[in-house]
Amino acid sequence: MTTRQLDKTYDPKAVEDRWSGEWINRGYFRADEKNHPGQPYCIVIPPPNVTGSLHVGHALNHSLQDILIRWRRMQGRNTLWLPGTDHAGIATQNVVEKQLMAEGLSRESLGRERFVERVWQWKATSGNTIVNQQKQLGESCDWDRLRFTMDEGLSKAVIEVFVRLYEDGLIYRGERLINWCPRCLTALSDIEVEHEEVKGKLYHLRYPLADDPNTGLIVATTRPETMLGDTAVAVHPDDPRYRHLIGKNVRLPLTTREIPIVGDRILVDLEFGTGAVKITPAHDFNDYEAGERHGLSRLAVLDHAALLDAAGMQQAGVESSVVEMLRGLPVSKARPKVDTLLREQGILEKTEDHKMAVGKCYRCKTVVEPYLSPQWFVKIQPLADPAMKAVEEGRIRIIPEGWVNNYLGWMRDIKDWCISRQIWWGHQIPAWYCLACNSRQIVTTDGRTTILQGAVPIISRLTPSGCPTCHGQQLLRDPDVLDTWFSSALWPFTTLGWPDQTPELKTYYPTATLVTGLDILFFWVARMIMMGLKFMGEVPFKDVYIHALVRDAEGQKMSKSKGNVIDPLHVMDQFGTDALRFTLASMASPGRDIKLAEERIEGYRNFANKIWNAARFALMYLDGPRTALPLAQRTLPDRWILSRLVHTIRTVTVELESYRFDRAATALYQFIWHEYCDWYLELIKPVLQTPEHPDGASTRHTLVETLETTMRLLHPFMPFISEEIWQTIPHQGDSIVVQNYPDVDQAWAAPDAEQLFALLEQTVGLVRTSRVLLNYSPGQQIPFHVGHDDLDRQSQLHQLQRHLAHLSRGTADVSPPQDWPAARLLRLVTEGLSVGIAVADDVDLKKAIERLAKQITETDKELQRVDGKLKNAEFVSKAPPDVIAEHQERVRTLSRDRALLDNSEQQLRTMLRS
């Protein structure tokens, strides 16, 4: 066998480039839905926006999934990690529109067909960016199954779902107040609005009574300009200030209208403002509902661009001079004008500062307007109920559990889902209208065609050939497209071939785990559950693992505008992909956001280098025969490291099963660095470096055995370096990717070896401390004494003599402390263990004495504390016997230590004086 010489420093770049491509070429990630004997384990990736490039949030999300998938694959499960991208309707349309703008074009100038073509073109050139980046990260997706939410199969499925929901009466069209983005010019669903607190003013307006203009009612509002569309004033029916006014009318200032005063205990908060509020059903959600309760008409005074609308104002009886003054103005300009008008007319009583929430478009951050328009909705309650039940009954587990209430709470109050968007990029709604039958409902003004409420749609999977009612041939397709989240809600089954009953669907649905961030729990997760239950009759996944958000080192949300974005590709370039992956995994503690700092990644880069050098070390000493001796015949270091390894295997496996990536990563780090490298490799050096050593063959075997196993254990976390090392050391098989994950082999556990080792570690620690106290240089060989109060331990020290001498660099005399020379000896004592080192003539003893004094103080403190507890009658009578025994034992040990330390200190002081 030829061993390759490894470089002194690990260079991730070359290794990663080679393996990321090679794994794919060899088809290791390809799923087999038909012949694989293993239990299926499927994860569908949260499809990144096709516009996107990999950011650190993806890196976290994908790293965790890849860990799970690689781990399960190695465990022999029939794994499928299904990749894909999302067409991201509004976001993508915005990107392409921006491009057009730069060319002096607009989507309107192109027309719908050419615009959509243009987006496809853009997708063809830029859409693969993120996929290529994912491959670079080593993501073990089955890339042959890459799906896109607008590819042919998925589009067909989307239409199918729409038609079926419509036929089931779960989709309807109606005029409702919806969230409207005046910049994107489209409706948004409730959750696509981000609420932000801003400073505003509360305006107190006096509305005079119609039959007694000298008295009036003062209403409080944050949006004075909408008063033009008021259709009532509400007071609380129990409010003694106003209840006698209910049923009377007020004169609405700036208009020719009179509006009624109504009593409403939902809308009106007795404590807030003046206790009287205006009702503007066309421009406020709460007012809209109040309007429904009281049968009020809705008067819209803003148009689709959120500009004051002349026609609307006229219809609302606004005085013509006011109409002229305000027409076409945006709210920001209209408000000061209205303010002035109201002041002049003595209507504005006062204003006061007021904090209020404004809604912003989650795509473009423009302030959204409640807007009255006909839209398509999903009737959600019938879908939400089973989705709640699935979680309540534990058919879906949400991890961490804390989010369950969040989910259930949202589902309980869920509102019908507005699914139509007035954009062009997306799945066009499969609804057609007969122009003949709907001549009054279809109006075109200024080139904008509006399909009014009441139009009768023809819902069809294919383009209908004619009107089924009048057989008319002139049909207009509904111009709206579906909410992007409509198609992603179907992702777990449409990507597997639904509505066809494919083998994939049969094998992999329901999927095993969904890994996602909290931010899309409602957007995506909840809706997948609803749709999965509706169309598959089964939950789409069994576990939902919700991970944290990645923030910058200061805890700020990363954003391009703040300039605090950590680019994962840059980091991968600088420190290696494995280092980034390991960092993210080790920081993925539940319920806490990740503050990512580069130093942390650098630390794990160092870890990778450490692993690399451990492998280098192994390779350097691997020449010669290797023999697998029975475990009982192996050396202490070998039995100890195997015992620690099996312990680590158990920990990593258990932690992965409970999605504790952080703990699994910590266990690996601790084992590899501080057990394998710090102790094991040091311990076996004398054997490896002695030619023809009797333990050589067995030690070399264990060295390879443990290193090879450790690489397999590490592989899901650090796929590249583990593969590279695995390939270099003796192994069987083509790639670590397809090897078995290490199993817990209980035979490796060796409690006796661990116990011995603990004594070794403790003793070596004391010797090393002594050396530093006495300023012996690290290389200097020194004689030292070791002894123990406990006879068993004393004899164990004899067994350890060789290792002690090696690790402490000196010659070890194991004998009872009372036999040691009394003079010129520094003695350190811990828990019955004594170490004595000769003091050279020229040594400064101050440091050693200080250290002894300090330890004596600490021992005293501890002694008092423990003794105090034992003197407490209640403790002795109530604490469990084993705890009491333990305390008593500690008092004994501490007292002995204390006496010996005292003695040692006095000796040193004597020396100092002489």
- Subset of 340-359 contacting RNA (CB under 7 A): 357
Element (H, E) at 867: helix 846-871
Residue 838 in contact with residue 785, Cβ under 8 Å? no
Nearer to RNA, 210 or 565 (CB): 565
Nearer to RNA, 95 or 684 (CB): 684
302: exposed, middle or buried (Cβ count in 10 Å: 0-12, 13-18, 19+): buried
CB of 809 to RNA, least distance (A): 8
Quick one: tokens of 21? Answer: 């491509």
Nearer to RNA, 120 or 410 (CB): 410
Nearer to RNA, 439 or 872 (CB): 872
CB of 227 to RNA, least distance (A): 22
- Residues in contact with RNA, total (CB under 7 A)? 74
3-state DSSP assignment of residue 206: strand
Q: Please, which of residues 546-565 interact with RNA by CB under 7 A?
A: 553, 555, 557
Binder of RNA out of 135, 610, 634, 712 (CB under 7 A): 610
Binder of RNA out of 298, 304, 477, 616 (CB under 7 A): 616
Stretch binding RNA (CB under 7 A), from 38-46, 439-447, 717-725, 777-785? 777-785
Nearer to RNA, 589 or 801 (CB): 589
Q: Please, which of residues 859-888 interact with RNA by CB under 7 A?
A: 862, 869, 872, 874-875, 878-880, 883, 886
Nearer to RNA, 190 or 339 (CB): 190
176: left (phi over 0), alpha (psi -120 to 50) or beta: beta
CB of 865 to RNA, least distance (A): 7
Nearer to RNA, 58 or 663 (CB): 663
Residue 812 in contact with residue 784, Cβ under 8 Å? yes
Nearer to RNA, 117 or 889 (CB): 889
CB of 172 to RNA, least distance (A): 21
- C-alpha span between 267 and 659 (Å, rounded): 45
Smallest CA-to-CA distance from 268 within 241, 251, 286 is with 286
Opening angle at CA 69, ends 63 and 75, nearest 5: 135
Nearer to RNA, 321 or 559 (CB): 559
- C-alpha span between 380 and 419 (Å, rounded): 11
Q: Does 755 bind RNA (CB under 7 A)?
A: no
Element (H, E) at 687: helix 682-689
Q: Are strands 420-421 and 457-459 parallel, antiparallel or unpaired?
A: unpaired
Nearer to RNA, 205 or 687 (CB): 687
Element (H, E) at 152: helix 152-167
Q: Does 778 bind RNA (CB under 7 A)?
A: yes
CB of 783 to RNA, least distance (A): 18
Smallest CA-to-CA distance from 900 within 816, 782, 796 is with 816
Binder of RNA out of 242, 376, 377, 522 (CB under 7 A): 522
Residue 528 in contact with residue 489, Cβ under 8 Å? yes
Nearer to RNA, 194 or 902 (CB): 194
Q: Does 440 bind RNA (CB under 7 A)?
A: no
Smallest CA-to-CA distance from 750 within 634, 598, 883 is with 634
Nearer to RNA, 172 or 272 (CB): 272
Q: Please, which of residues 166-195 interact with RNA by CB under 7 A?
A: 190-191, 194-195
- C-alpha span between 426 and 123 (Å, rounded): 13
Q: Are strands 186-188 and 171-181 parallel, antiparallel or unpaired?
A: antiparallel
Quick one: tokens of 162? Answer: 């729409």
**Chain mean position to CA 617:** 38
Stretch binding RNA (CB under 7 A), from 32-40, 96-104, 404-412, 524-532? 404-412
Nearer to RNA, 519 or 657 (CB): 519
Going by the DSSP 8-state scheme, the letter that residue 145 receives in this structure is G
Nearer to RNA, 558 or 614 (CB): 614
CB of 616 to RNA, least distance (A): 4
CB of 270 to RNA, least distance (A): 14
Q: Does 674 bind RNA (CB under 7 A)?
A: yes
CB of 261 to RNA, least distance (A): 24
Nearer to RNA, 375 or 739 (CB): 375
Residue 10 in contact with residue 488, Cβ under 8 Å? no
Stretch binding RNA (CB under 7 A), from 60-68, 399-407, 468-476, 633-641? 399-407
CB of 595 to RNA, least distance (A): 4
- Residue 790 has phi, psi (to 5 degrees) of -85, 130
Q: Please, which of residues 408-437 interact with RNA by CB under 7 A?
A: 409-410, 413
Nearer to RNA, 367 or 677 (CB): 677
- C-alpha span between 425 and 483 (Å, rounded): 10
Going by the DSSP 8-state scheme, the letter that residue 162 receives in this structure is H
- C-alpha span between 333 and 327 (Å, rounded): 11
Q: Does 9 bind RNA (CB under 7 A)?
A: yes
Nearer to RNA, 191 or 814 (CB): 191
Instruction: For residue 300, give every residue at least 6 positions away whose Cβ sits within 8 Å of its Cβ, in sequence order, or none.
Output: 229, 282, 283, 309, 312, 371, 372
120: exposed, middle or buried (Cβ count in 10 Å: 0-12, 13-18, 19+): middle
Smallest CA-to-CA distance from 671 within 716, 640, 695 is with 640
Opening angle at CA 357, ends 351 and 358, nearest 5: 100
479: exposed, middle or buried (Cβ count in 10 Å: 0-12, 13-18, 19+): middle
Binder of RNA out of 100, 210, 218, 677 (CB under 7 A): 677
Q: Does 765 bind RNA (CB under 7 A)?
A: yes
Stretch binding RNA (CB under 7 A), from 79-87, 163-171, 246-254, 774-782? 774-782
Binder of RNA out of 662, 708, 723, 905 (CB under 7 A): 662
Smallest CA-to-CA distance from 630 within 751, 748, 757 is with 748
CB of 175 to RNA, least distance (A): 21
Going by the DSSP 8-state scheme, the letter that residue 471 receives in this structure is -
Binder of RNA out of 2, 5, 444, 777 (CB under 7 A): 777
What string of DSSP letters covers 56-125?
Answer: HHHHHHHHHHHHHHHHHHHTT-EEEEE-EEB--HHHHHHHHHHHHHHTT--HHHH-HHHHHHHHHHHHHH
Q: Does 13 bind RNA (CB under 7 A)?
A: no
CB of 497 to RNA, least distance (A): 33
Q: Please, which of residues 196-235 interact with RNA by CB under 7 A?
A: 197
Q: Please, which of residues 564-603 interact with RNA by CB under 7 A?
A: 587, 589, 591-595, 597, 599-600, 603
CB of 231 to RNA, least distance (A): 21
Stretch binding RNA (CB under 7 A), from 423-431, 436-444, 492-500, 765-773? 765-773
Binder of RNA out of 222, 406, 422, 799 (CB under 7 A): 406
- C-alpha span between 699 and 634 (Å, rounded): 8
Residue 196 in contact with residue 318, Cβ under 8 Å? no
Stretch binding RNA (CB under 7 A), from 180-188, 228-236, 400-408, 649-657? 400-408
CB of 652 to RNA, least distance (A): 14
Q: Indicate if the alpha-carbon torsion angle 406, 411, 412, 418 is positive or negative.
A: positive
- C-alpha span between 156 and 124 (Å, rounded): 20
Q: Indicate if the alpha-carbon torsion angle 232, 233, 234, 237 is positive or negative.
A: negative
Binder of RNA out of 534, 605, 644, 701 (CB under 7 A): 605
Nearer to RNA, 210 or 518 (CB): 518
CB of 494 to RNA, least distance (A): 26
